Amino acid sequence: MNKLICVSIFLAGLFLSECKTTTVSTSIISAAPVVTTSDTLAMAISNGQTLYQTKCYRCHDLPVVSEYSRSEWSYIMIKMSRKAHLSEDETGQVLTYIVATTKQ
């Protein structure tokens, strides 16, 4: 897990550059795991997708991730990560998946 800390800062920066929400989103986004290799990034994206599909689907149909911008997802994740009882690590993995698949 320690290997995941550097790229997460990069992903969080990308995500934050599109974010127009309050500082609450910063704490959620900073939970995104840092990824240092393409294999680790692929694993984080895969884990995030699995969490998205299993945890979010428990309560509602899944929106297509690419239909929302990163700033829209920032707002969505603030609300939904709490409702889904995601840990910071799980939230970070879902955010890694979202950042990898959303439009700018």
Please state the domain extents for the chain: 2-101
> For residue 32, what pLDDT is reported?
56
Q: How many angstroms separate the CA atoms of 96 and 90, rounded?
A: 10
pLDDT tens, residue by residue, 14-57 = 444 444 444 444 555 555 555 557 788 888 889 999 998 998 88
Within 10 A of 19 (CB to CB), how many other CB atoms are there? 21
**For the chain, first and last CA: distance in Å?**
27
pLDDT tier at 103 (50, 70, 90 boundaries)?
Answer: low
- DSSP calls for 30-86: TTSPP--SHHHHHHHHHHHHHHHHHHGGGTSPPPPGGGSBHHHHHHHHHHHHHHTT-
DSSP 8-state class, residue 103: B
Assessment of whether the complete model's pTM goes beyond 0.75? no
